[in-house]
């Protein structure tokens, strides 16, 4: 848990889910992102360790992040101070959890932030091939293997696996940052239409040449500073 708040008020609490194609990664490996979120947003950040697909397929990871969210709510943190955030597969987990909470009419976080979220594990959008030479982080081969491992015996288009197929009526305000040269571009832009169709207040910010999930992989670049500034403004707007 990382904290950055000098006031006497209750912290904004960001529940953060790391990336890694559901197969690798850990809170420790992504501590830099959690620390930057804490500093930029003057927030407490809880980076959640969830079950990767190497150990168990869906729904284990969604169950884990749901349990973390339930524990945070039970601890007394007000819903209007809770932000869900995630990178890549972790962004997909944020939206999978949100879909579950909406379906069960449960308490909502105040807002949602995702960085280059993985939204369609069927690997069916054209940018997966069209941008394969420009994406320096991801490949179709690796993500396809990871998608099959994560889904296990469950249909790949299940909304908790591929949130682009979900229903998001009454979802909280959502910020999505992504790159125009990442292979997930098309599914992310399709998701903007999904949120618009369901009347969700959403902001999509696209960088023209930064890599997939650039705030996680490029520490000191101006593009990273700008991304965390956008996130901080968005979180402040919806929590104050």
Tens digits of residue pLDDT in 15-27: 999 999 999 999 9
- The mean pLDDT of the chain is 94
Spatial separation of the C-alpha atoms in residues 189 and 123, rounded to whole Å: 14
Average pLDDT over residues 95-118: 98
User: What pLDDT does 1 receive?
Assistant: 52
pLDDT of 11 above 60: yes
Average pLDDT over residues 121-149: 97
Helix (H, G, I), strand (E, B), or coil: what is residue 177?
strand
pLDDT of 140 above 70: yes
Average pLDDT over residues 153-172: 98
Q: Beta strand pairing status for 202-207 and 82-87?
A: unpaired
Spatial separation of the C-alpha atoms in residues 212 and 147, rounded to whole Å: 17
Please report the DSSP string for 103-126 in residue order. Answer: HTTPPPPSEEEEES----TT--ST
User: What pLDDT does 89 receive?
Assistant: 98
Spatial separation of the C-alpha atoms in residues 186 and 222, rounded to whole Å: 25
Q: Which of 87-91, 123-127, 211-215, 230-234 has the lowest mean pLDDT?
A: 211-215
Spatial separation of the C-alpha atoms in residues 35 and 2, rounded to whole Å: 6
Average pLDDT over residues 109-114: 98
Spatial separation of the C-alpha atoms in residues 18 and 228, rounded to whole Å: 16
* 240 alpha-carbon distance from chain centroid: 22
Give the residue among 226, 12, 187, 168 at the shortest CA–CA distance from 88: 187
pLDDT of 161 above 50: yes
Measured distance between the N- and C-terminal CA atoms of the chain, rounded to whole angstroms: 22
**What percentage of the chain's residues is helix, strand, coil (to nearest 5)?**
40, 15, 45
User: What pLDDT does 217 receive?
Assistant: 77
User: What pLDDT does 6 receive?
Assistant: 42
Q: Which residue has the tokens 């949120």?
A: 195
| pLDDT tens digits, 190-218 | 999 999 999 999 999 999 999 999 988 77
Q: What angle do CA 24, 130, 22 make, to 5 degrees?
A: 15
Domains of the chain by start residue, with CATH: 2-239 (3.40.50.1820)
User: What pLDDT does 10 receive?
Assistant: 63
User: What pLDDT does 8 receive?
Assistant: 45
Spatial separation of the C-alpha atoms in residues 49 and 239, rounded to whole Å: 25
User: What pLDDT does 4 receive?
Assistant: 47
User: What pLDDT does 219 receive?
Assistant: 74
């Amino acid at each position: 848990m990382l904290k950055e708040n000098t006031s006497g008020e209750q912290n904004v609490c960001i529940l953060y889910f790391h990336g890694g194609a559901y197969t690798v990664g850990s809170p420790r490996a992504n501590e830099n992102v959690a620390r930057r979120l804490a500093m930029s947003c003057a927030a407490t950040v809880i980076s959640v360790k969830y079950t990767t697909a190497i150990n168990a397929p869906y729904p284990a990871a969604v169950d884990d992040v749901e349990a973390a969210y339930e524990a945070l709510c039970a601890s007394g943190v007000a819903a209007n101070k809770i932000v869900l955030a995630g990178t890549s597969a972790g962004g997909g987990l944020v939206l999978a959890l949100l879909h579950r909470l909406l379906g069960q009419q449960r308490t909502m976080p105040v807002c949602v932030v995702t960085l280059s979220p993985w939204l369609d594990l069927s690997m069916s959008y054209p940018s997966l091939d069209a941008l394969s030479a420009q994406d320096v982080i991801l490949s179709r081969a690796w993500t396809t293997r990871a998608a099959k491992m994560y889904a296990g015996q469950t249909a790949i288009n299940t909304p908790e696996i591929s949130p682009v197929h979900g229903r998001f009526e009454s979802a909280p305000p959502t910020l999505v940052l992504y790159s125009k040269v990442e292979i997930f571009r098309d599914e992310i832009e399709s998701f903007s239409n999904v949120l618009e169709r369901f009347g969700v207040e959403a902001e999509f910010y696209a960088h023209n040449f930064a890599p997939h999930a650039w705030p996680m992989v490029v520490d000191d670049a101006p593009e990273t500073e700008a991304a965390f500034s956008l996130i901080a403004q968005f979180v402040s707007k919806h929590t104050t």
